[in-house]
Structure 1
Amino acid sequence: MPELSVTEIAESLRFWCGLLGFRVAYDCPAARFAFLARGAVQVMLCERNGRWDTGGMQRPFGRGINLQIMVERLASILEGLEALGWPLFEAPREAWYRTGDRMSGQREFLVQDPDSYLLRFAERLDDAA
């Protein structure tokens, strides 16, 4: 599971829990750390302390990667983001990928968290031949 270094844990928790529907499964306020869960998805957040920095940290954090997070339904997440005017990096769309002799589909959108980590939320669509 990923552990993201964040600039401000309180701001990140407002985003991840308040907007995206994650819950704090475990936290250690003294270490400015939180273990979050949303269904089967787990992510850890830790306020930057320099301990594991392998180089200079500047926004956007996580350059070159996106974290795909599978959810049952995108609607509630999209509604929460829209209600607060949080911008999407990429609007919802259908994406189809070949898996053997079938096509697997998902509806997905991308959003950046307060530190600009790129998150791709997706819900499964029925497979096609």
Structure 2
Amino acid sequence: MSVEPTHEDADVPALVPELSVRDLDASLEFWCCLIGFTIRYTRREEGFAYLALGRAHVMLDTLSIERSWLTGSPEPPLGRGINLEIWVPDLEVVLGRLASSGWPLFLEPEEVWYRADDVLLGVRQFLVQDPDGYLLRLQTDLGRRPA
């Protein structure tokens, strides 16, 4: 049985986004079955789930169950203006699951080298939207090289 982690636990990040969702089951199908997250714990009566994939953590909270902390009208797509960068160990596995399910990509896979001062950080990445329109930028590391 999973136990709710405390902030003293070493594997709990200092920042965990909580995303409002319309249908928890549809969101769990996407986040867990397609992307590869696992459920750390749920509060089904509240429409809530805490998920993790390696060091990437996210909370899903169903709109209109219990309380909501909305700053505006929840019109789709939700999460406009942000993308969630998530490191995955094997991008091809995730791409395969998405393709098998017929899930559309927002941006096809690409190789990009981002400058960080005098070093270039390489990633292979793609973007996909979850059922509520949140934009996920899934990446895998390609290494470093001089800028």
TM-score w.r.t. structure 1 length?
0.97
Matched, 1:116 2:116: no
What is the DSSP-based 3-state SS (H/G/I as helix, E as strand, rest coil) of the residue aligned with 1:72?
coil
Q: Whose strand proportion is higher, 1 or 2? A: 1
- Name the CA distance, whole Å, in 2 between partners of 1:72 and 1:23: 14
Q: Could you tell me how far 1:64 is from its partner in structure 2?
A: 0.6
- Name the CA distance, whole Å, in 2 between partners of 1:58 and 1:120: 21
The one-letter code matched in structure 2 to 1:79 is G
Matched, 1:94 2:126: no
Matched, 1:65 2:82: yes
Q: Could you tell me how far 1:71 is from its partner in structure 2?
A: 1.4
- What is aligned with 1:46? 61
Matched, 1:7 2:22: yes
Deviations 1:53-90 (A, max 9, x none): 11111111001110000112101100000001100000
Matched, 1:82 2:99: yes
What is the DSSP-based 3-state SS (H/G/I as helix, E as strand, rest coil) of the residue aligned with 1:13?
helix
What is the DSSP-based 3-state SS (H/G/I as helix, E as strand, rest coil) of the residue aligned with 2:106?
strand
Structure 1 vs Structure 2: percent identity of aligned residues? Answer: 48
Number of corresponding residues: 129
Structure with larger RCO (C-alpha < 8 A, sep 6+) = 1
What is the DSSP-based 3-state SS (H/G/I as helix, E as strand, rest coil) of the residue aligned with 1:82?
helix
Q: Which runs of 5+ in 2 are unaligned?
A: 1-15
Runs (4 or more) in structure 1 with deviation over 4 Å come to: none
Q: Which runs of 5+ in 1 are unaligned?
A: none
**Mean alpha-carbon deviation: is it higher for 11-20 or for 49-58?**
49-58
- What is aligned with 1:105? 122
Out of 15, 21, 31, the residue aligned to residue 16 of structure 1 is: 31
Matched, 1:28 2:39: no
TM-score w.r.t. structure 2 length?
0.85
RMSD over aligned Cα, in angstroms? 0.9
